[in-house]
């Protein structure tokens, strides 16, 4: 069981202290995939890094400028290219003179194939960082140092940022406190997501700081619970197919009977991601490329 954590009372448009030298400004873009909104983090003192500038909302840009209140922005860091994380990066860079940092444009690191399964409604196709970061690269500012950790899974270009001296990990959307993360092919990859959880566990962070939702204090146990959940879901998908349920819609009806039907399309994307992984590992066979419409059987 994942120990989900929730925030019942939030404030928009103002900087809130989350941890020493870490503030959050919450964008007013609540929704079923953003929870209470996108949190932009200011890291440092008189000179700060901005992590995940957020959606292209004038109100959020104005709130960030107020929160900075004369402080210098030295770095603008982007965890990944979704419309609730990266679009404001260029406008903030122009206003502050700070360069943008990220793994690369949307789709960077994506494996080949699945061309017919392009689902990019939430993608920011315009963002391209001024400075690219690879796994293990360090970004250093006044009084802080962050290590880029490439964590593909939610998107192929997803980065987390680890502050080793403080054992604080900014997790973007790879780990969220209020919900599991959407893993939707083709840019989402379930095997990569699970492997990236192992990467985060090895960092031995104490506190997780997601873009959406509250801080997570018991970091190791939480990451372990997320992995256990994904492996349990994988086993459920495998069992459903072994029972003769050959199409994704029917698998979703069986495994997600307790959620609102309007969420079933998102659940289908997650099941597809599991099935792609199982096909690639030879446990399940598809009657063609693994897609939403394919039929699946247990490999004999």
264 SS3 class:
helix
Strand 138-141 to strand 131-132: parallel, antiparallel, or no bridges (unpaired)? unpaired
- Would you tell me how many other CB atoms lie within 10 Å of the CB of residue 205? 25
Convert 198-261 into a string of H (helix), E (strand) and C (coil).
HHHHHHCCCEEEECCCCCECCHHHHHHHHHHHHHHHHHHHHHHHHCCCCCHHHHHHHHCCCCCH
Q: What are phi and psi of 284, to 5 degrees?
A: -135, 150
Identified catalytic residue from 58, 69, 84, 124: 84
Q: 126 an active-site residue?
A: no
Could you give the angle at the alpha carbon of 219 between the alpha carbons of 185 and 213, nearest 5°?
A: 65
Active site residues: 84
């Amino acid at each position: 069981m994942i120990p989900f954590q929730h925030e019942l009372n939030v404030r928009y448009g103002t900087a809130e202290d989350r941890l020493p030298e870490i503030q959050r400004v919450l964008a007013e873009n609540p929704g079923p995939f953003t929870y209470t909104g996108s949190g932009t983090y200011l890291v440092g003192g008189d000179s700060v890094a901005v992590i995940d500038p957020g959606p292209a909302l004038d109100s959020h840009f104005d709130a960030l400028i107020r929160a900075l209140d004369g402080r210098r922005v030295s770095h603008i860091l982007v965890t990944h290219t979704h419309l609730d994380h990266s679009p404001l990066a260029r406008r903030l860079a122009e206003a502050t003179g700070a360069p943008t940092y990220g793994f690369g444009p949307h789709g960077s690191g994506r494996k080949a194939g699945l061309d017919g399964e392009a689902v990019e409604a939430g993608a920011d196709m315009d963002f391209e960082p001024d400075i690219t970061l690879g796994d293990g690269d360090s970004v250093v500012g006044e009084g802080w140092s962050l290590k880029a950790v490439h964590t593909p899974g939610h998107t192929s270009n997803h980065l987390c940022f680890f502050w080793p001296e403080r054992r604080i990990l900014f997790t973007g959307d790879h780990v969220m406190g209020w919900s599991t993360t959407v893993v939707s092919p083709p840019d989402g990859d379930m095997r990569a997501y699970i492997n990236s959880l192992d990467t985060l566990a090895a960092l031995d962070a104490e506190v997780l700081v997601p873009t959406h939702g509250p801080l997570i204090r018991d970091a190791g146990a939480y990451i372990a619970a997320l992995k256990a959940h994904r492996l349990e879901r994988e086993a459920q998908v495998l069992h459903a197919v072994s029972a003769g349920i050959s199409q994704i819609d029917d698998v979703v009806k069986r495994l997600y009977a307790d959620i609102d039907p309007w969420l079933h399309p998102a659940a289908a994307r997650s099941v597809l991601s599991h099935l792609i992984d199982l096909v690639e590992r030879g446990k399940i066979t598809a009657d063609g490329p693994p897609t939403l419409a394919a039929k699946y059987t247990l490999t004999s």
